Amino acid sequence: MGRIGESLPGERRMNHLADFFFSPFQEFTFMRHALVACLALAIGCAPVGMLLVLRRMSLMGDALSHAVLPGAAIGFLVSGLSLYAMTIGGIIVGLTVALLAGAITRFTALREDASFAALYLISLALGVLIISMRGTSVDLIHVLFGTILAVDDPALILIAAITTVTVFTMALIYRPLIVECFDPGFLQSVGGHGTTMHFTFLVLVVLNLVAGFTALGTLMAVGMLMLPAASANFWAKQFWSASMIATLIAMISSYSGLLLSFYMNFPSGPSIILTAGICHAFSVLFGKYGSIYSRHKAGDHLTG
């Protein structure tokens, strides 16, 4: 890293810069795999995260990410540290919790946040219990924080498949999903299948969390959903434009996070999420709409 600061002729310095930014991915297959996985995740997670934020379900995403744990743990129990088994387990348990919590909310008086919290706590306790029955704390750390350096071809295909499903589903049900967000009463009054849309959306959340946890771990996966989305709202005033910005932020954080973890020898999941966190802090401070800067910016008031 020190070489970059030295006064070199322009061209050679460019080479060094390019080296710095690209060589990890040229030289190491696992870095390429990790990068592709994260970029794919960014495409699917950003719009789903945007909807989570807009529906005020941010903390439910968090709860669901914990709920995935026992599924992963059972997969781990059956076939060791196999991403496949853990992923399938995660999907099954995540969907069960999401649908059960959704159903409890729609058909009883319990509020959605409370029913999610109740189910995820049960689920999390079960997960930790199962892992502690077999395996060491190192394995637990792997499940919780991810092993991006072990993203193999099957895992890549899985992530790509989930992203594809997410993007296509979002495109298909975009209209009712948006309406269900801001005016559920209207959607209901015109017969727009609000409940179906809600459950479809929950399925997408679980799929993206599971896609994320192979790479980032169950604890960190939700960061890819929430942080870019929570930042994007400071830069755009419409859903689609904010989603594009969220995707961009997620991609930039993935790339720089991976570089950070490569050079500094940090674990990759936290590096990526922390980079996204820096983007978020920047947005909170200097974003175009509603940020601290925009609210206190100097200048005379306008005529209208």
Partner 1 sequence: MHAISLQNLTLGYERHPAVHHLSGVFESGSMTAVVGPNGSGKSTLLKGITGLLRPLGGRIDRGRLRTTQIAYLPQRLEVDRSFPITVLDIVILGLWHHIGIFGGMKRMFWEKAAHALCTVGLDGFEARAISDLSGGQFQRVMFARMLLQDSPVVVLDEPFTSIDAQTTRDLFQVIQRWHAENRTIIAVLHDFDQVRAFFPRTLLIARELIGWGETHQVMTEENLLLSRRMSEAWDASAKVCLENGA
Residues that bind partner 1 (CB under 8 A): 54, 172-173, 175-176, 178-179, 181-186, 188-193, 233, 236-239, 242
Closest CA to 119 of 206, 227, 50, 217: 206
- Least spacing, CB of residue 226 vs partner 1, in Å: 17
Give how far Cα 208 sits from Cα of 73, 110, 175, 226, 239, Å: 18, 26, 20, 12, 19
Q: What is d(CA 173, CA 159) in angstroms, rounded to the nearest whole number?
A: 21
> Of 46 and 181, which CB lies nearer to partner 1 in the complex structure?
181
Structure tokens at 119: 């189910």
The one-letter amino acid code at 223 reads G
> Of 15 and 189, which CB lies nearer to partner 1 in the complex structure?
189
> Of 76 and 239, which CB lies nearer to partner 1 in the complex structure?
239
> With contact defined as beta carbons under 8 Å apart, do 77 and 133 qualify?
yes
- Least spacing, CB of residue 189 vs partner 1, in Å: 5
- Least spacing, CB of residue 102 vs partner 1, in Å: 19
> With contact defined as beta carbons under 8 Å apart, do 76 and 247 qualify?
no
What's the length of the chain?
304
> Of 96 and 195, which CB lies nearer to partner 1 in the complex structure?
195
- Least spacing, CB of residue 222 vs partner 1, in Å: 22
> Of 147 and 233, which CB lies nearer to partner 1 in the complex structure?
233
- Least spacing, CB of residue 203 vs partner 1, in Å: 17
Q: What is d(CA 258, CA 62) in angstroms, rounded to the nearest whole number?
A: 23
Structure tokens at 55: 């529906």
Question: Is the CA virtual torsion 289, 247, 30, 158 positive or negative?
Answer: positive
> Of 132 and 189, which CB lies nearer to partner 1 in the complex structure?
189
- Least spacing, CB of residue 88 vs partner 1, in Å: 31
The one-letter amino acid code at 218 reads T
